[in-house]
């Protein structure tokens, strides 16, 4: 079997990641011809093309994609073993990469992370916001240790550590006319109310679109945005209503500003928030400790035993959800 040169693998990863050999060479501070020559030699050695050129640059062939996956796993395994060696002296150092949807931020910062840092003050962390598909991609490609994701698509390379039901709700201000609505709300009931929604490409909006089709309703949003924060301000200001999982607005609901109303469509009630990692990845001790802390804290909300904050439970229990689970 041919040996795989680490430098060549890095050249391949940068060429594909940057989109061109020249951009990769600039990033690596080497001559572009040297990158091209090394890639060509590896293709000859392995007797298969690794990149293909197109009008916008280069992309990996199926063989190149296999090598890139191998390279990413090697890098993550190297990082993980170094972290484990350091942990033999105690969990006093380590960095954790987390990628998550915007809706998780308020809840994490208001409780769960404070409890984690109280136990492990020397650990550092990167929190990156991303859309659902990008959260999945970055976890699968080992760009992050953990992912917090809402209703992810099927992905055999993901391992789910905790799945919590978090149905989509109608969020309204406490004094809004819909706040006194009895029973689950139908999408058709939103007609005549100014509506704000996420962009059509987002997972939340796609779930809502399927419910529109099933119910035979057609929503006409007055506001479309990629920001959950914008939608919450839209509702809190009294400008309109929105459709979001209630945990996205847990602080506003706890403060009595917003109310979450259940929806009638079954498809809007069968969605979940998940903690995920790449299947087969052995997490370094710092990331494993955070995973355990998050899973314990978030699962505790289902039984009412959580003491460190966490997402609202399956029925979004709290002062802001007047209707409870449908």
Q: Structurally, how many domains does the chain consist of?
A: 3
End-to-end alpha-carbon separation of the chain, Å? 59
Task: Judge if 159 and 191 occupy the same domain.
Answer: no
Task: Judge if 192 and 245 occupy the same domain.
Answer: yes
Among residues 274, 279, 228, 288, the alpha carbon closest in space to that of 135 is found at 274
CA atoms of 13 and 15, how far apart (whole Å): 6
Task: Judge if 255 and 184 occupy the same domain.
Answer: yes
pLDDT tens, residue by residue, 55-112? 778 888 888 888 888 888 777 777 777 766 666 555 567 889 999 988 888 767 767 8
Task: Judge if 172 and 264 occupy the same domain.
Answer: yes
Task: Judge if 189 and 262 occupy the same domain.
Answer: yes
Segments forming the whole domain that contains residue 35: 6-70
Query: Are 266 and 151 a contacting pair, CB within 8 Å?
Result: no
Does residue 314 lie in a domain region?
Answer: no
Does residue 318 lie in a domain region?
Answer: no
Q: Going residue by residue through the chain (326 aa), what tens digit of pLDDT does each one get?
A: 456 778 888 888 888 888 888 888 888 888 888 888 888 888 888 888 888 888 778 888 888 888 888 888 777 777 777 766 666 555 567 889 999 988 888 767 767 898 899 888 888 999 999 988 899 999 999 999 999 998 888 999 999 999 988 899 999 999 999 998 888 999 999 988 999 999 987 888 889 999 999 989 999 999 999 899 999 999 999 999 999 998 888 889 989 999 999 999 998 998 888 999 999 888 888 899 899 999 888 776 544 444 444 444 333 333 344 433 33
Place of tokens 């690794």: 50
Task: Judge if 102 and 60 occupy the same domain.
Answer: no
Verdict on whether the full-model pTM lies above 0.75: no
Task: Judge if 182 and 140 occupy the same domain.
Answer: no
Three-state secondary structure readout of the chain: CCCCCHHHHHHHHHHHHHCCHHHHHHHHCCCHHHHHHHHHHHHHHHCCCCEEEECCEEEECHHHHHHHHHHHHHHHHHHHHHHHHHHCCCCCCCEEEEEECHHHHHHHHHHHHHHHHHHCCCCEEEEEECCHHHHHHHHHCCCCCEEEEECCCCCCCEEEEEEEECCEEEEEECCCHHHHCCCCECHHHHCCCCEEEECCCCHHHHHHHHHHHHHCCCCCCCEEECCHHHHHHHHHCCCCEEEEEHHHHHHHHHCCCEEEECECCHHHCCCEEEEEEECCCCCCHHHHHHHHHHHHHHHHHHHCCCCCCCCCCCCCCCCCCCCCCC
Task: Judge if 183 and 257 occupy the same domain.
Answer: yes
Does residue 310 lie in a domain region?
Answer: no
- The CATH number given to whatever domain includes residue 263 is 3.40.190.290
Task: Judge if 198 and 172 occupy the same domain.
Answer: yes
Task: Judge if 183 and 253 occupy the same domain.
Answer: yes
pLDDT tens, residue by residue, 23-44? 888 888 888 888 888 888 888 8
CA atoms of 25 and 194, how far apart (whole Å): 52
Task: Judge if 198 and 239 occupy the same domain.
Answer: yes
- The CATH number given to whatever domain includes residue 48 is 1.10.10.10
Task: Judge if 110 and 236 occupy the same domain.
Answer: no
Does residue 78 lie in a domain region?
Answer: no
């Amino acid at each position: 079997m041919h040996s795989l040169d680490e430098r060549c693998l890095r050249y391949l990863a940068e060429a594909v990641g940057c989109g061109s050999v020249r951009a990769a060479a600039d990033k690596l501070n080497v001559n572009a011809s040297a990158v091209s020559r090394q890639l060509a030699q590896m293709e000859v050695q392995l007797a298969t093309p690794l990149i293909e050129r197109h009008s916008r640059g280069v992309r990996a062939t199926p063989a190149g994609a296999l090598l890139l996956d191998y390279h990413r796993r090697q890098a993550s395994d190297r990082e993980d073993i170094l972290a484990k060696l350091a942990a033999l002296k105690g969990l006093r150092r380590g960095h954790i990469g987390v990628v998550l949807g915007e809706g998780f931020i308020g809840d994490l910062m208001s409780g769960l992370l404070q409890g984690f840092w109280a136990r492990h003050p020397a650990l550092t962390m990167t929190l990156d916001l991303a859309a659902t598909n990008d959260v999945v991609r970055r976890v699968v490609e080992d760009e992050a240790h953990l992912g917090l994701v809402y209703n992810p698509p099927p992905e055999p390379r993901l391992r789910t550590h905790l799945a919590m039901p978090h149905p989509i709700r109608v969020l309204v201000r406490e004094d809004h006319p819909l706040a006194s609505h009895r029973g689950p709300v139908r999408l058709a009931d939103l007609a005549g109310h100014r509506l704000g929604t996420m962009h059509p490409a987002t997972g939340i909006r796609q779930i809502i679109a399927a419910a529109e089709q099933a119910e035979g309703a057609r929503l006409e949003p007055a506001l479309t945005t990629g920001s959950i924060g914008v939608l919450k301000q839209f509702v809190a200001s009294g400008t309109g209503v929105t459709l979001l999982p209630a945990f996205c607005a847990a602080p506003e609901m706890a403060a009595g500003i917003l109310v979450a109303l259940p929806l009638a469509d079954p498809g809007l009630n069968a969605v979940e928030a998940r903690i995920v990692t790449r299947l087969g990845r052995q997490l370094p001790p710092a990331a494993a400790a955070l995973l355990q802390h998050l899973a314990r804290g978030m699962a505790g909300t289902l039984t009412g035993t959580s003491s460190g904050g966490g997402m609202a439970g399956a029925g979004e229990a709290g002062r802001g959800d007047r209707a409870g689970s449908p």
